A and B are shown apart, each in its own frame.
Chain A
Amino acid sequence: MRIFDPHIHMTSRTTDDYEAMHAAGVRALVEPAFWLGQPRTSVGSFTDYFDALVGWERFRAAQFGIAHHCTIALNPKEANDPRCAEVLDVLPRYLAKDGVVAVGEVGFDSMTVEEEKAFVRQLELAVEFELPAMVHTPHRDKEQGTRRTLELVTESGLAPGMVVVDHLNEVTVDQVDEAGCWMGFSIYPDTKMDEHRMVAILQRRGLDRVLVNSAADWGRSDPLKTAKTGAAMLEAGFSADDVDRVLWRNPIEFFGQSGRLLVDPELPDDASTGADASATFEGNSILRGSRD
């Protein structure tokens, strides 16, 4: 099973996690820029964080044979702090980098005016830099937040296929599906969304435009939830090719739209060969540029 985790915060994880992920088949991932638990109070701490996402964390992942990508944005929670508003001005530098495969996480936390302003501005940046957008949906009042999110996406002019709306559940999936956006599901070790409910959603609406992630971070979470969802799919009668589609080809297709992937999309589908996804990043094969 080859796995691309499209949403995981490795900065908060240990090297044991990297080892276990590689053993489970994870060969590539996307780390979205997000809230660190402790609110930041200045632009400098954001730039240091962004530098780590395109620097140290990428290096660290490569040591474990995993290709690390990231998304860059001012997250909705901190968009509410006026001391952080200037972060929006430094984003273009980072959105130009290799391995930065989307603008994100953007969206709503508490549905404030400030959040909406930052969200709209960052959707504009996605259009300008020809990047996909990764949109976080609020944990509270998810349905209303998702509705407003989709309105703003439509107004932005960003193609729905360039947008993934994340942390969905049974209540929010259909409106995102109808809008033509990609659907992200975060599988948690608690009641928010588990692998069996995930399988039920896949059985009901199919595998198109679905991304499954662990969203593992500094909270209670499990970086192997992608692999566990793959196992649950097989148990429920999905084929190995279906699993590959959801856990590898779908994220490659979505983030490949950025033209910034640092992993070989044709990586051999066999975790046991020990094929090293970071090989392309380390420079063992010539990967030619695509668009741009």
Chain B
Amino acid sequence: MTEIEPLADHDTIRHALDASAQAQLEALTAEVADDPSRLGRAFPAAARRTGRGPLPGVDGVLLEDAVRVRLVQVAASSLDPDALLAELREVYRYGDSDEKRAVLHALSGAPEEVDGSDLLLDALRTNDTRLVAAAMGPHSDRLDDDSWRQGVLKCLFTGVPVASVTALARRADRELAEMVQRYQREREAAGRDVPLDVQVVLDACATSPEQPQHEQKDL
């Protein structure tokens, strides 16, 4: 009932797997299709039953993430948005870092009615760069401006490339520019290198459509 955008199409995933891993993927998929509440059971074993590592043909996507998002996609097809969200919260709560990251990726492909911003905020409180990066993906449009700006700043702090921040060009605004400039001054005062991404964010702030809007609001 709820449609989740996969990280990679089914054929791409299948091609990355040998025959026995393909059979495992079919078994996991069938289990979750039959009973979506089995998602939490299927999730932990998904990587060791299929595979892990970069997914050939899809830049920057891990096979284990693609497989887990596929399982969420299958479970979601028979769950309404609220039930799906409840299931994802449960899987995230008891997931290891890999499982948590996969939940964040699944949220990135979720429709309007699904709001998992509480999970993004949890991920942004960690210092695990893989979770921080995943939290700033497409689903981060659910974050309010303050949380989103803090998320961008956290990326600069923890070394997560801001290229992984969705809608940076659109959402960057004067307030973010000021925060980043203060961060830059602090680094310079300490005689430390300023990450190259600082300029990327400042450039985005300078050219962002949010800029004039915000100025109007300020007036």
Listed in ascending order, the chain A residues whose CB lies under 8 Å from chain B are: 51, 54-56, 58-59, 93, 96-99, 259-260, 280, 283-290, 292
* A284 contacts B44, C-beta separation under 8 Å: no
Is B98 close to A, CB under 8 A? Answer: yes
Q: How many A-B residue pairs have CB under 8 A?
A: 67
Q: Does B118 lie at the interface of the complex (its beta carbon under 8 Å from any beta carbon of A)?
A: no
Given the contacts A55-B128, A96-B44, A289 and B97 also touching, CB distance less than 8 Å? no
B96→A287 contact, CB < 8 A: no
> Which residues 87-132 of B have a CB within 8 angstroms of A?
94, 96-98, 100, 126-130
Alpha-carbon separation in the docked complex, A4 to B149 (Å): 42
Give me 15 other A-B pairs in contact (C-beta within 8 A), A54-B97, A284-B53, A292-B45 excluded. Answer: A56-B97, A56-B128, A59-B129, A93-B94, A97-B44, A98-B47, A98-B96, A260-B48, A280-B53, A283-B64, A286-B52, A287-B52, A288-B18, A289-B24, A292-B48
Q: Is the CB of A54 within 8 A of B128?
A: no
Which of A93, A259, A283 makes the CB contact (< 8 A) with B48? A259
The residue of chain B having its C-beta at the shortest distance from the C-beta of A291 within the complex is B48
In the complex, the chain B residue whose C-beta lies closest to that of A95 is B44
Distance between Cα atoms of A164 and B53 in the complex (Å): 31
A260 to B98 alpha-carbon distance, docked (Å): 14
Chain B residues with CB under 8 Å of chain A are 16, 18, 21, 24, 41, 44-45, 47-54, 62-64, 94, 96-98, 100, 126-130
Question: Do B21 and A288 touch across chains, with their CB atoms under 8 A apart?
Answer: yes
In the bound complex, CA of A189 to CA of B100 (Å): 39
In the assembled complex, how far is the CB of residue B18 from the closest CB belonging to chain A, in whole angstroms?
7
- Of the A-B pairs whose beta carbons lie under 8 Å apart in the complex, a sample of 21, sorted by A's number, is A51-B96, A55-B96, A56-B128, A59-B97, A96-B44, A96-B45, A98-B47, A98-B48, A98-B96, A98-B98, A280-B52, A283-B54, A284-B53, A286-B51, A286-B63, A287-B53, A289-B47, A289-B50, A290-B48, A292-B48, A292-B49
